[in-house]
Each structure stands twice: as C-alpha cells, then as structure tokens.
Structure 1
Amino acid sequence: MNDSASEPGSVFDVARSWDARADLYLQLFRHEWDSKPFDRAVLAEFAGRVGGGGRVCDVGCGPCGKVTAMLVERGLDVLGIDLSPRCIELARREEPECQFEVRDQQDVGRAVQGGLLDGLVSYYSLHDRPKRELPSTLAAWGEAIRLGGQLLIVAKEGTSDGVVGDPLGTDHRVYWAEFTAQELCRAAEAAAFQVDDVTVREAYADEISTRRIYLSATRLARA
C-alpha cells in the first residue's frame, strides 16, 4: 500500500473506518428519521423539484439506506452509493427493494450509467474527506447532473478539517471536516450550480451539537 492510500481522509481510510463502524452506526441511527420532520420535509421538497421518475444518486448512503428508501417512496429512481462495502451490505439488508453500490462519490458519473442524473443528494457525505477536495467533488457531481438538475447538500457547520476522536464514541480516529455556508455556496457556484436556498438549523438534543447546513441548488450550463 502506498502512503497516499493510507493517508487520513483517503478513499482507503474512509472505507476502512466505515467498515469498522457501520454496524454500530446502524444500531444507533436505524430509526433517526422518526424524530426528524424537518429533514423529511427537505427530502420531500427535493423529490418534488426533481419530479416523478427522476434519476437520482444518494452519495454516502451509509448502512441505513434511509435517504435512498425515502426518495424511492417519493417516486424517484435512486441509486445509493458508499465507499464502505460493509455499509452497502447492511443497506441492502435494511432496504432490499432499493439499489446500492460500492462507489466513490467523486466517481459518481461511472456509477450511474445510461445518461446524466436528474438530481444528487449528499446527506453528510462530505465530512469524511479533507476540505481541499470540496471543489473537485462538486465539480464531479456537476458533470454527472443534467442542465436543470437538482442538488441537495446537508453538512455540519464549523471549521474542523483533520483527524479527531470518533464522534460515535469508538476508539477509532477518523477524518472530520466541517464547512461554512459560504464555503459550500462558493464551491457549488464554481461547479456551475445556482444556489437556490441555504438554511441552517440547530442540532437536535440527540445529535452532535453542531449546526446543520441545507443547500439546494440547480445545475446550470457552464460559461
């Protein structure tokens, strides 16, 4: 294994850390959406913007697969992807009617064969990778989404960008990146998205005490 492959926040590192923690995450958060009406409303609004039958990718779907499942219930054609084979294994078990695949979120174009996407959802998929990768990640998403297609990013607000103790409470050290709304807006606009809405909410009592950013955007033609 070369040095870059084992660096904190690398593809290998993220897959390894989530393989080790996927079962615990599922145990802790299998039913988290039951107490998140705001987030359910955000996803419903996103599904409405995309329209019935729209092709969508849920990047960083995790072991629960709930975002993928909720969008499928709203009539969308959804593929959930994640770097962690264990996350995908568990997601397939939890939501057997949905489609899941092991794939890097920066390689989303190859994950969705058969034309450009009508939309993409990133629910906390950005915090495992270094902040310097934000522009290239959003550029990759932009290339995979059709003109007029929809983007929804949900991220934790802050300035962290490095290795921390696992927020899940294990003895693992994991990469943890946070963002400001301005950083997300700039990166989205540079990747040829029009930012339509940015909302910030406080953490719920049972969440990590960090505010959440919700960014909705539309894919534009490049200049």
Structure 2
Amino acid sequence: MSSSTSGAREGASPPRDRTGQAEAFDAIGDRYDEAFPHKEGQIAATEWLVESLPAGSRVLDLGSGTGVPTARRLTEAGLEVVGVDLSAGMVALAREQVPGAEFHHADLADLRPGGPLDLGRFDAVTAFFSLLMLPRAEIPSTLVTIHRLLAPGGLFALSMVEADVDDVPIPFLGRRIRVSGYPRAALREVVEAARFDVVEEASHGYAPGGADVPPEEHLFLRCRRRG
C-alpha cells in the first residue's frame, strides 16, 4: 500500500488545531468569491448532481463557504442542502445568501461517528476544495467518513488542486493558510481506497484573480459510493 493510501482507518489521525485556517477565511469573507469568480468545473460538477438526483434528495456540502454557487444552485433545484464550514464568517454569509439551506459551523472531524454533529445520511456529498485544507494524514479517514455519511450508491463530487504537497503554508488573499494536494493519479488512488468508484474525471487550468495566488490545475472527480 502506498503512502497516499495508508492510514485510511477512520479516526486514525487526530485532527490538528485549525483555528488559524478558520480565522483566515473569517477575514477573507466575500473577497473569496471576488478572487475566484470563474468556477466552471465546480458548476459543472454541481449540475451533474442536479441532473442525477430526484427532487428532495439530501446533499451535504462540505466546506460550503459563502454558499455560492453550490448550495444556492442545489437548493434552487429542489434539493435539501446541509452545509458545513470551519469559518463562522463564511457560515454567516452562506445563511444570508442561501436562506433555503441549513448551515453548520463545524470541523469536518465533527462528522465522524461519535462526533458532536450527527446529520444523518445523505444522497450526495460535495467537497469542493475543502479537503485540501487538511494535512494528508487526515484525508483518507475523512473520505471514509464521507463514505459512511452516504446512502448506498450515493454520489460524491470532489475537487482538489493538483499539487504534490502536504500541509504547506501559502499566502492566500493577504492571509496564510496550510494546504495539501496530490498528483492526479495519487488522488484517484486515495479516493478509490475509501471505496468510491470514480465515474468521471476532469481538470481545469485556473488563474485566480489574487496577485498572491499562482495559476493552478483544478481536479474534479465525480464518484459513486461502492458498497
């Protein structure tokens, strides 16, 4: 088993203190949407869910941010949306911009079995650029948690920045955050190890509007829960 898939046991790595990450996004607020105005890959993955799910399906949006565009679009499509974000400021913005959805200020680790936030089962989960905020040691176990949160055959839309980095500090819109990433083959490996079938993969080159954010390659995986 490669290093990218080791430690996939749920709860294998205790979550690190992410206070600094939350404070950074509290400070960034709605400037995030200004710096990242073009979200074609994220919008396409969201439309895949809209087209695949019947009205009333429950969708969990992990790292829901400002609620735009994902939670808003899913709610407009008649889906029941629950968002979770580490940043209290982002949650406040999302509640204002997408009143039809339910948002929680919480860490992804809070969703593990026995954790403080029990949201039940979902028909789909989105994680658009939220897992990159974790050190690699926590990503496999978080994927296992997502698998458990999904109903059998449930859908999972995931995006990451393609980069061979682990918990590296970077400047981001005037703040500093820590990020992780994988080369695309390694990302697919770690997702499949958590018992997801990748049904489609896409990538998009992206040049963010912020001067301190270099061009990126965004990877999007559309997955289905196996088992």
Same fold (TM > 0.5): yes
Aligned partner of 1:11 in structure 2 is 18
Q: Provide the secondary structure at the position in 1 that maps to 2:167.
A: strand
For residues 103 and 150 of structure 1, the distance between their equivalents in structure 2, rounded to whole angstroms, comes to: 22
Q: How does 1:128-207 map to 2 (within 5 A)?
A: 128-168=133-173, 170=174, 172-204=175-207, 206=209
Report the CA distance shift for 1:191/1:49 in structure 2 as closer, same or farther (over 3 A): same
For residues 190 and 200 of structure 2, the distance between their equivalents in structure 1, rounded to whole angstroms, comes to: 14
Work out whether residues 42 and 128 of structure 2, in 8 Å CA contact, stay in contact via their aligned partners in 1. Answer: no
For residues 109 and 186 of structure 2, the distance between their equivalents in structure 1, rounded to whole angstroms, comes to: 18
Among 92, 96, 99, the alignment partner of 1:93 is 96
TM-score normalised by length of structure 2: 0.81
For residues 70 and 123 of structure 2, the distance between their equivalents in structure 1, rounded to whole angstroms, comes to: 16
Work out whether residues 44 and 74 of structure 1, in 8 Å CA contact, stay in contact via their aligned partners in 2. Answer: no
Q: What's the % identity of the aligned pairs?
A: 27
Among 206, 212, 218, the alignment partner of 1:212 is 218
For residues 40 and 170 of structure 2, the distance between their equivalents in structure 1, rounded to whole angstroms, comes to: 29
Report the CA distance shift for 1:73/1:23 in structure 2 as closer, same or farther (over 3 A): closer
Report the CA distance shift for 1:86/1:205 in structure 2 as closer, same or farther (over 3 A): closer
For residues 112 and 66 of structure 1, the distance between their equivalents in structure 2, rounded to whole angstroms, comes to: 25
Per chain length, whose mean CA-contact separation is higher, i.e. which structure has more relative contact order (CA < 8 Å, sep 6+)?
2
Report the CA distance shift for 1:162/1:39 in structure 2 as closer, same or farther (over 3 A): closer
Q: Provide the secondary structure at the position in 1 that maps to 2:203.
A: strand
Aligned partner of 2:80 in structure 1 is 77
Unmatched tracts of structure 2, length 5 or more: 1-14
TM-score normalised by length of structure 1: 0.82
For residues 205 and 132 of structure 1, the distance between their equivalents in structure 2, rounded to whole angstroms, comes to: 27
Q: Number of paired residues?
A: 207
Q: Provide the secondary structure at the position in 2 that maps to 1:166.
A: strand
Unmatched tracts of structure 1, length 5 or more: 1-7
Work out whether residues 34 and 209 of structure 2, in 8 Å CA contact, stay in contact via their aligned partners in 1. Answer: no
For residues 107 and 81 of structure 2, the distance between their equivalents in structure 1, rounded to whole angstroms, comes to: 16
Q: Decide which structure has greater helix share.
A: 1
Work out whether residues 75 and 100 of structure 2, in 8 Å CA contact, stay in contact via their aligned partners in 1. Answer: no
Among 63, 68, 71, the alignment partner of 1:68 is 71
Structure 2 residue 29 is matched with structure 1 residue 22: yes
Work out whether residues 41 and 220 of structure 2, in 8 Å CA contact, stay in contact via their aligned partners in 1. Answer: no
